Structure 1
Amino acid sequence: MSRALIEIGSCNVDLELRPIEPAWIIEGNPVSRSHILSTSSDGTSSTIIWSCTEGRFNWYYDFDETIMILEGSIVLESDGMPPKRYGVGDVIFFRDGAHAKWHVEGHVKKIAFCRKTNPAVIGFMIRVVNKLKRMFLSPGERRPATLMGAG
Structure 2
Amino acid sequence: MSGDDKIVFYQGRNVEMQACPINPAWVIEGAPVARNFVLSRSADGSASTLLWDCTSGVFNWYYDIDETVYLLEGSVVIRDDSGVEHHLGPGDHALFRAGSHAAWRVESYVRKVAFCRNPVPQPVLFAARVVRRLSRMMGLAPAPAPAMFNGV
Q: What TM-score, normalized to structure 2?
A: 0.86
Q: Is the 8 A contact 1:11 1:49 kept in 2?
A: no
| 1:107 equivalent in alignment to 2:105 | no
Deviation at 1:124, TM superposition (A): 1.9
| Residue in structure 2 matched with residue 64 of structure 1 by the alignment | 66
Distance 1:105 1:143, change over 3 A: same
Deviates most, 56-65 or 79-88:
79-88
In structure 1, the partner of 2:131 is 129
Q: Structure 2 stretches of 5 or more lacking a match?
A: none
TM-score, length-scaled by structure 1: 0.86
Q: Is the 8 A contact 1:134 1:147 kept in 2?
A: no
Choose which of 35, 38, 41 in structure 2 pairs with 1:36: 38
Q: Within 5 A, what are the aligned runs for 1:85-100?
A: 85-100=87-102
Q: Count residues in correspondence.
A: 149
Structure 1 residues 134 and 81, CA gap change in structure 2 (3 angstroms): farther
Question: Could you say what secondary structure the match of 2:123 adopts?
Answer: helix
Distance 1:104 1:145, change over 3 A: same
TM superposition shift of 1:134: 5.4
Q: Determine the structure 2 residue equivalent to 1:6.
A: 7
Whether the aligned pair in 1 keeps the contact of 2:79 and 2:104 (CA below 8 Å) is yes
